[in-house]
Structure 1
Amino acid sequence: MKKFAFIGAGSFVFTRNIVRDLLTFPAFHDAEFCLMDTDSARLKAICECCQRIVTASNKPAKLTTTLSREEALTGADGVLCTVFNGGIDIWRHDIEIPKKYGVDINVGDTRSVSGIFRALRNIPLMLEICGDIKKYCPNAVFLNYTNPMSMLCKAMQTYTDVEVTGLCHSVQGTVKMLAEWLEVPKEEIDYLCAGVNHQAFYLKLQRGGKDLYPLLREKLKNTEFYNKEIVRNNMFLNLDYYVTESSGHNSEYNPWFRKRPDLIETYCTHSTNWNPGLYAFSLNLRLEREGHWRDEIDQWLEENPVDQISLEKSEEYAANIFNARIGDHTPFLFNGNVINDGCIPNLPSDACVEIPVLADRAGYHKTYVGNLPAHLAILVNTTARLENLVVEAAMEKNRRKVFQAVCMDPLTSAVCSLDEIKQMTDKLFEANKTYLGDYQ
């Protein structure tokens, strides 16, 4: 019987989806799913939903819950992580302080100045979790879903020897979206996607050996489709390759779309996939969801009686990877976050990149991608080198290096002077001092 530890099981959608996905594999029909969270009320509610899925599956799997990370990890064969250090009360400062300096951030969990400070808070926590894995389940397969993905994985893969990779749903999610737009069966699309998390590009997008990009260009002449993802579609039409993560995210990863109010109105107020794409709304939405999480779960329970629950597997990679590593060992190819090691030669060798990875009984096998197109390499190199600097700063608790990393952020540098960036960074350190401690 395999044991899976969910660290941060309070993630309602994610936890129930992965439990359901794991139950689709015979090797895990009798597994133990140990759900761990620090919020006992949320944990109890999530467990109720997951129990309904287990009951509907008619499998002998069992659910356990705990507030103890040690208890969850002890004897675990697989570990999934969806935690974060600091809730909305601190996250809002990462958005509100830059906003006063003209840096208008949308999602704020992965990149730009807000992603940098989120990384500084979360890197110590993730290293603690790795330490506990090494102590309580040293052979476990560890899959991380916590953002900012690249920086957290870079830290864990560089400073621990735990077997860990990071997963995101943007690669397969974007292929599904494009397949629907192009009216092509998703299973018939052959693609190669590489870069860094949330900033990976489809270097190949084909069907039966035929390039699909000309068809996509033709489709985007129709405003109905162009307006679905304005930022990403604009990037594709100018950069010639489609990027993985949504417009809402990508609008804050570069200097082109959010540096002036008129540009925000043109590109970011509508169809950013984080409607309506403005900070005030995204914060209010998160606050509203935080205050009504119990209502969301109650509604799901009401709408999903045992005899009507769908047991269809989602498109998340996690269950397939666990099956390849510790289940029936069917090899599985996925896009994972790993140290580059020359797989993309024109990105830093020590950067965390998102590339095709093969999982099997023996472990993870990286694939050689080759160089990114020159113009994409310039964009992605900025991200990769900046993120390397942030991880270095976090490990050294070096305040100066954090400031210099923020200076290199494309959106921040498009809006602020160096002196303004220094003032902004100092205020963010002050707002985060409870979580960060003393940076020198």
Structure 2
Amino acid sequence: MKKGIKIATIGGGSSYTPEIIEGFINKKLSGELPLEDLYLVDIEEGKEKLEIVGNLAKRMVSKAEADINIHLTFDRREALKDADFVTTQFRVGMMEARIRDEKIPLRYNLLGQETTGAGGFAKAQRTIPVILDICRDMEELCPDAWLINFTNPSGIITEAVLKHTKIKVIGLCNVPIGMVNMVAELYGVEADRISIDFAGLNHLVWGRKIYKDGIDVTEEVLDNIVKGNSFNMKNIPDVDLSKDLISALGVLPCPYHRYYYLSETMLKNTLKDSEEKGTRGEVVRKLENDLFELYKDPDLNIKPPQLAKRGGAHYSEAAVNLINSIYNDKKDIQYVNVRNNGTILDIPEDTAIECSCVIGKNGAKPIHIGHLETSMRGLLQVVKAYEELTIEAAVKGDYSAALRALAIHPLVNDSIKAKKVLDDIIRENIEYLPQFKDLNL
């Protein structure tokens, strides 16, 4: 009989939490995951949300008769002590910081997006000091635990942990599993009949080969998209990728590639949307407020279907599946962020990549990729260099590295604008940026 396991979820007051609770309940009831204690951790400022979500979690567990102890706490160290798995889904600065991340770049006619470009840079600068602090606690209190990170920008955060801590970490994103589900919908089949060979970075990943029931259907899927079938996510403006480009690439770009392949169109749409209905963060803030009102209902004891509108579908499904496969040494294939280790030969070995991996008790083993096609390689190398500089800036408080990072990012690509954006980001986030506290701007 396997002993009961302990999981700590940092950012337990997130609106996503009911989804991960549902996943844990299902695995507990199936007998696969003997989860005994789940700690939902948050900060004092998130007290109301933690209590609302935590009480819903307890009702869900009770209804399912799943026998999981739900603990709500602001004491991170208590939650981490002897944990088997730690999941991270927090937002430093909460929703107000995200909205700033979106609005600051727009002042300079640059795309404001929470995970890439200048917005993603700002989020990384706030998040990296906190994730490294969490890892220091883990090294002391649960050194053998697995860290499953889906705090964005997930690839950058994962790489920071890989480079600067001893913690076993795997990064997660809902984009690859979302792409698998979109292909499954295209064929009207269950998602487990679709597999994709992924290669790239977080929010810059390509599906190089697509299989249905083990048969290569890559060309068929690309033809369907060329003929007008939408292939997108709720949190990204639905602009059609160029049909000629998709045909020329010969691989399946992820929804976030719109920001790179259609930068001007996406900027126009983002500016228009921000004027008419607010930035995506402002839209999400309202969605979240509505969700938390739903969560308060004492009669609600399931994950509400309205959560699907939030834009983060499949995150928790991916996290629960990953934990389950590590715990049970399943050796199945999942799509995660891991250390490159020569998997992609075009970028440094010590950086994080997103790809198809075999998951077992020793973690994620990436499936060898080799050299990427030239068109993919060029974009990948520039964005990877940006990510490396972003981590250096966050860890060292290095203004020069920060400026270089923004100046080379394809969504900024202008040193004068990069400096203006950087200075605004630091000034307006300084309470969350201890690494830049001595900077005189």
Q: For the superposition of Structure 1 and Structure 2, which TM-score range results when normalised by the shorter chain?
A: 0.7 to 0.9
Alignment of 1:256-405 (within 5 A): 256-259=261-264, 264-265=268-269, 280-298=278-296, 302=299, 304=301, 316-326=317-327, 328-405=328-405
Which letter does structure 1 place at the counterpart of 2:178?
G
Quickly say closer, same or farther: Cα 1:214–1:438, change in 2 above 3 A.
closer
TM-aligned CA deviation for residue 25 of structure 1: 4.5
TM-superposed deviation, 1:231 = 4.3
Alignment-derived partner of residue 437 in structure 1: 434
Secondary structure at 1:336 match in 2: strand
Paired letter, 1:419: I
Q: Distance in 2 between matches of 1:314 and 1:20?
A: 16
1:243 is aligned to 2:243: no
Whether 1:428 and 2:425 are equivalent positions in the alignment is: yes
Cα distance in 2 for partners of 1:410, 1:314 equals 27
Deviations 1:57-87 (Å, cap 9, x if unpaired)? 3232221111110111112111111112112
Report if the CA contact (8 A) 2:172-2:315 is conserved.
no
Equivalent residue of 1:4, what SS?
A: strand
Rounded to whole Å, the distance in 2 between the matches of 1:427 and 1:314 is 31
1:112 maps onto 2:113 in alignment = no
1:99 maps to a residue whose letter is: L
Matching residue of 2:239: 230
Does the CA-based 8 Å contact 2:16-2:316 persist in structure 1? no
CA distance 1:318–1:89, shift in 2 (3 Å): closer
Report what 2:82 is aligned to: 75
The alpha-carbon distance between structure 1 residues 345 and 53, as it changes in their structure 2 partners (threshold 3 A), is same
CA distance in 2, matches of 1:60, 1:291: 30
Deviation at 1:332? Answer: 3.1
1:264 counterpart letter in structure 2:
K
SS of the counterpart of 2:412? Answer: helix
Cα gap change, 1:375 to 1:323, in 2 (>3 Å): same
Asked if 1 retains the 8 angstrom alpha-carbon contact of 2:174 and 2:315, the reply is no
Partner deviation per Cα, 1:194-229 (whole Å, 9 max, x = no partner): 111111111111235543233224323544547995
Q: Would you say the 8 A contact 2:60–2:301 is kept in 1?
A: no
Quick check: 1:25–1:323 contact (8 Å CA) kept in 2? no
Question: Secondary structure of 2:167's match?
Answer: coil
| Alpha-carbon separation, structure 2, partners of 1:350 and 1:150 | 13
CA distance in 2, matches of 1:196, 1:112: 14
CA contact (8 A) 1:4 1:79 kept: yes
What letter matches 1:388 in structure 2? Answer: E
| Structure-1 separation of matches of 2:226 and 2:35 | 51
Match of 1:88 among 75, 78, 95: 95
Shift of 1:269: 9.1
Q: Distance in 2 between matches of 1:230 and 1:333?
A: 31
Q: Structure 1 CA distance, aligned partners of 2:12 and 2:155?
A: 21
- Distance in 2 (CA, whole Å) between partners of 1:118 and 1:354 is 19
Distance 1:279 1:422 in 2: 29
Q: How much does 1:295 deviate?
A: 0.9
3-state DSSP of counterpart to 1:23: helix
Deviation at 1:191, TM superposition (A): 2.1
SS in 1 for 2:253: coil
CA deviation after TM superposition for structure 1 residue 54, in Å: 1.5
Per the alignment, residue 6 of structure 1 pairs with: 9
Aligned length: 416
Aligned to 2:39: 34
Pick the aligned partner of 2:175 from 166, 170, 178. Answer: 170
Normalized against structure 2, the TM-score is what?
Answer: 0.85
1:205 maps onto 2:205 in alignment: no
Instruction: Give the CA RMSD over aligned residues.
Output: 2.9
Percentage identity across paired residues of the two chains: 23
Q: Name which of 183, 188, 212 aligns with 2:193.
A: 188
Partner-residue secondary structure (3-state), 1:205: strand
- Which sections of structure 1, spanning at least 5 residues, go unmatched? none
1:387–1:188 CA distance, 2 compared to 1 (3 A): same
Change (3 A) 1:292 1:320: closer
For the 8 Å contact 2:13–2:50, the answer to whether it is kept is yes
Q: Quote the residue 1:153 is aligned against.
A: 158
In 1, Cα distance between the equivalents of 2:372 and 2:145? 33
Match of 1:406 in 2: 406
Q: Offset at 1:32?
A: 0.9
CA distance in 1, matches of 2:241, 2:316: 22
State the shift of 1:437 in Å: 3.2
Q: SS where residue 143 of structure 1 aligns?
A: strand
How far is 1:378 from its partner?
0.8
1:438 CA displacement: 5.2
**In 2, Cα distance between equivalents of 1:122 and 1:25:** 35
Question: Are the aligned partners of 1:356 and 1:367 in contact in 2 as well (CA < 8 Å)?
Answer: yes
2:420 counterpart letter in structure 1: Q
Contact map agreement 2:397 2:435 (CA 8 A) in 1: yes
